[in-house]
Amino acid sequence: MQLSLNSEVAAAPGGRGAVLPVGGAFAPQAWISRAPPPDAAAIAPAGALAGLTFAVKDNIDTAGLATTAACPAFAYQPDAHAAVVQKLLDAGASLLGKTNLDQFACGLNGSRSPYGAVPNAFNPAYVSGGSSAGSAYVVATGQADFSLGTDTAGSGRVPAGLNNIVGLKPSRGLISARGVVPAAQSVDCVSIFARTVATAAAVLQSAMGHDAQDPWSRKLALATEPFSAAFRFGVPDLLDFDGDASARAAFAQAVTRLEAMGGTAVTIDFTPLAEVAELLYESALVAERYTAIRGFFDTHETEVIEPVRGIIAAGRHYSAADLYAVQTEVKRLGQRADAMWSGIDVLLVPTAPTHYTLARMQQEPVALNRKLGTYTNFVNLLDYAALSVPSALREDGLPFGVTLIAPCGSDWQLADLGQRYHHSTGLAQGATGVPLPPMRPIAALRKPAAVKVAVVGAHLSGMPLNSQLTERGATLAASADTAPHYKFFALPGTVPPKPGLLRVAPGTGSRIAVEVWDMPVEHYGSFVAMIPAPLGIGTLELADGSQVQGFLCEALATAGAQDISHLGGWRAYIASLAAPRP
């Protein structure tokens, strides 16, 4: 296994290659072909993605490696890289190879391939999700820093949700699909998998751009203002988890978490979205899948595995009139669905309703695959952008992810909110066990003039007084530690419980975990005015030597208070109170 020097998992115990997925050894069926190792002596670090490694779904061309689309009879040798691959190489990333997929990108479960079923990174008895199964697996297990998938019905999101990684499905046409074997060309998107939103956003920045040689590429203007701190998020009125109580509980937790971040939940009518989702495979829209490989399919139909063969063959029997009728129906339902955006900024849905075992998927390959697309199938048809982010690990150890959806052009806004959500979960990166790195700002977003304020206790994300920040439009900028010049105390008799941070002589204190928030200048005064004695705002020194405004405590108030400096932060102290006593 190859890991880059600045990979998020490069510092794992034992050095490179030491990180193993929870489910055990790496699955060889995640790869279809591997690129030859680059000549290290010839590589000079350069470009925005320098030092990062990536894998490519094997329906995307890379010169020197066959493109198979998981169908050996279809394989061909491309003369050039796909446009997106070339952009990533030009940005300094190193290509590792091609990954397995549901054949012709037709499926959401990752088991429809003659190269083998790709297992879940956490439990190999379960499906990985598809069709970009191998691309998700190699990122989740630390074999690549990021990867490319494709997304027509959810293939760039479902595998992310089932493997505890980030799946960024950009606005349609934002990334060129030239050099990609199409599934349904009018709605296909090249997607990005990564272990952090910041990495996915950096890849998007390098990969995006209009391509006049791609008939479906578009010149898109992306929103550059973050969502309001007091954002409103939609929650479907109809939620189906296929009887999975753990998934239902995890989604309820996700709603609570977004509310703690300043959001207001709004129930939306999910019916038009569900009806659009059903049309993707149950109407003349499936004719586009046949059109994509018609020349090959008409002469090599028996070389295509079931149920992929049956799905594609069904596209032969629709007329042009059938297609026009269903396109009009999609537009009609889209008009109904668009009404929800007048009351919400973003839609929150489960990425997938549940997990299925490989054995059960083999018994019910069509019905269960359709279930996996419950919350994804409608997105590209309605021209939305989407970002799947990890949300929880269930009691059975399997991941649960949620997807944030917003209209076309909202990609950076989703990245900003999604990063803050992901970091609030406290989850590790993929199946590596490595903690999340500090957050990085989404560079393309404009931020209002702000004061950086470090909080240490009841104002942290999810804590009782966090709303005093969010209702003033403050946004979480980073998680950090103070310089080792502070002691930390649990102040008695405070409601809600609060800590006190006290500056001491250099070398006699500890590093204390903080969150740094960007507070709009116009609201900073009203925030400071709410802080009761013995607390106040002063200048804090962070571990990197920078200085920000932050909470400090009068020395007199710490007399007799419990010194909790050794715990390193307020969350650790709160957790210690809940821990069972020996």
The catalytic residues are 57, 131, 155
Instruction: List phi, psi (to 5°) of 15.
Output: 80, -165
Nearest to 403 by CA among 548, 263, 258: 258
DSSP string, 71-133: -GGG-B--SS--HHHHHHHHTT-EEEEEE--SGGG--SSS---TT-PPBPSS-TTBB--SSSH
Using CA atoms, how far apart are residues 436 and 423, in angstroms rounded to an integer? 7
Using CA atoms, how far apart are residues 244 and 432, in angstroms rounded to an integer? 26
First to last CA, the chain: 42
Nearest to 418 by CA among 147, 157, 168: 168
Q: Token pair 């990564």 is at which residue?
A: 194
Using CA atoms, how far apart are residues 553 and 532, in angstroms rounded to an integer? 10
The answer to whether 255 and 460 are in contact (CB under 8 A) is no
Neighbours of 562 (CB within 10 A): 12
Using CA atoms, how far apart are residues 457 and 500, in angstroms rounded to an integer? 8
Kind plus residue range of the DSSP H or E element containing 552: strand 547-553
Alpha-carbon distances of 287 from 103, 173, 320, rounded to whole Å: 17, 21, 10
Using CA atoms, how far apart are residues 388 and 403, in angstroms rounded to an integer? 4
The answer to whether 276 and 382 are in contact (CB under 8 A) is yes
The answer to whether 115 and 69 are in contact (CB under 8 A) is no
Strands 399-407 and 384-393: antiparallel
Using CA atoms, how far apart are residues 301 and 303, in angstroms rounded to an integer? 5
DSSP string, 274-335: HHHHHHTTSSGGGHHHHHHTHHHHHHHGGGSPTTHHHHHHHGGG--HHHHHHHHHHHHHHHH
Kind plus residue range of the DSSP H or E element containing 207: helix 197-207
